[in-house]
Amino acid sequence: MNEDSARRSMIRAAMRAPYLERSEEHDLAVRWKEDHDQEALHRITTAHMRLVISMAAKFRHFGLSMSDLIQEGHVGLLEAAARFEPDRDVRFSTYATWWIRASIQDYILRNWSIVRGGTSSAQKALFFNLRRLRARLAQGSELLSSAAVYHEIAAALGVPEADVAMMDSRLSGPDASLNVPLGDESGAASDRQDFLVSDDPLPDEVVGDTIDFERRSGWLNTALGALNERELKIIRERRLREEGATLESLGARLGISKERVRQIENRALEKLRVALVRENPELAVL
């Protein structure tokens, strides 16, 4: 039996399954919740498979297998059955709808593209509503520019316009491999990735910067040894922290005036300069 025949058979079976009355549904849910009655679970899920198929059909335009969408919806249906509280005044179909939709949407986000998208709730809403909102805006009497369309969609979904533009670009075409060969006028072939420009520093620059940083750190640590305890404290608080302490606050902590803190700091900086030049004479010309 091929996939189409299996799907049609599944749909026919779902459509033949009897509906459950509210009281019968409640009794089955209680049996499953309290006694883990597998027959009760089977009857509940079978009766609601038409709901799964109906919801899966709403997502078929994403180009994924309808059978796979139904299977993922069934996973959501089982999750709903596991979490359903029969004593709450709500029908199982109402509760299960959210879980079925969430399971199908998660499957689509995992498999629609090799590039992961919709990692936040806002991005997920954008992914699944962008086409619908674009179509609705296109039906209006006023012809809107792309910028205006992005603005309207961003306002409706509460996302930045840049995110709308990026998602629209992703949805407008299939994924393209970076290893696809591209020919030029000379006939030479290059991969698409050869034309991508990175702003990151080159590996040799990273290594060079690391070595320079470690060398300068060593020089500084050696020079700091020339300072006394109070000078060292002032230099660390004023110069070696991301947010340096003010002269006034540091003076209050040390019990001296802010002018005295400034004087000690200047003296300590001069001692550091002398120590650095003594150990590294080449710094004297910098």
What are 230-266's pLDDT values in tens digits?
998 998 888 888 888 898 998 898 899 999 989 999 9
Query: In whole angstroms, how far apart are CA 104 and each of 78, 119, 280?
Result: 13, 15, 66
- Quote the pLDDT of residue 181: 73
Confidence of residue 118 (pLDDT cuts 50, 70, 90): low
Does one domain contain both 22 and 82? Answer: yes
Domain of 19, CATH number, reads 1.20.120.1810
- Quote the pLDDT of residue 127: 74
SS3 labels along the chain? CCHHHHHHHHHHHHHHCCCCCHHHHHHHHHHHHHHCCHHHHHHHHHHCHHHHHHHHHCCHHHCCCHHHHHHHHHHHHHHHHHHCCCCCCCCHHHHHHHHHHHHHHHHHHHHCCCCCCCCCHHHHHHHHHHHHHHHHHHCCCCCCCHHHHHHHHHHHHCCCHHHHHHHHHHHCCCCCCCCCEEECCCCCEEEHHHHCCCCCCCHHHHHHHHHHHHHHHHHHHHHHCCCCHHHHHHHHHHHCCCCCCCHHHHHHHHCCCHHHHHHHHHHHHHHHHHHHHHHCHHHHHC
Answer yes or no: is 197 within a domain: no
Higher pLDDT, 154 or 118: 154
Answer yes or no: is 189 within a domain: no
Answer yes or no: is 29 within a domain: yes
Does one domain contain both 267 and 215? Answer: yes
Does one domain contain both 127 and 101? Answer: no
Does one domain contain both 64 and 142? Answer: no
- Quote the pLDDT of residue 188: 59
Is residue 102's pLDDT more than 80? yes
Does one domain contain both 75 and 161? Answer: no
- Quote the pLDDT of residue 42: 92
Does one domain contain both 107 and 158? Answer: no
Is residue 6's pLDDT more than 90? no
Is residue 101's pLDDT more than 60? yes
Does one domain contain both 131 and 87? Answer: no
**Total tally of structural domains belonging to the chain:** 3
Q: Which domain holds residue 130?
A: 121-171
Does one domain contain both 9 and 107? Answer: yes
Higher pLDDT, 247 or 200: 247
Domain of 221, CATH number, reads 1.10.10.10
Does one domain contain both 129 and 104? Answer: no
Answer yes or no: is 183 within a domain: no
Answer yes or no: is 73 within a domain: yes
Does one domain contain both 90 and 125? Answer: no
Answer yes or no: is 190 within a domain: no
Does one domain contain both 222 and 270? Answer: yes
| Least confident residue range of 13-22, 29-38, 135-144 | 135-144
Is residue 121's pLDDT more than 80? no
Distance between CA atoms of 270 and 239, rounded to whole angstroms?
14
What are 205-215's pLDDT values in tens digits?
888 888 888 88
Answer yes or no: is 279 within a domain: yes
Query: In whole angstroms, how far apart are CA 184 and each of 189, 190, 191, 192, 222?
Result: 7, 8, 11, 12, 57
Does one domain contain both 34 and 99? Answer: yes
What are 40-91's pLDDT values in tens digits?
999 999 999 999 999 999 888 888 888 899 999 999 999 999 999 988 888 9
Is residue 125's pLDDT more than 80? no
What are 256-286's pLDDT values in tens digits?
999 998 999 999 899 888 888 887 777 665 5
Is residue 115's pLDDT more than 70? no
- Quote the pLDDT of residue 114: 57
**Domain end marker among 77, 111, 145:** 111
Is residue 117's pLDDT more than 70? no
- Contacts of residue 254, defined as CB under 8 A and 6 or more positions apart, other chains included, come to 230, 233, 234, 261
Higher pLDDT, 102 or 141: 102
Answer yes or no: is 196 within a domain: no
Q: What is the mean pLDDT of the chain?
A: 82
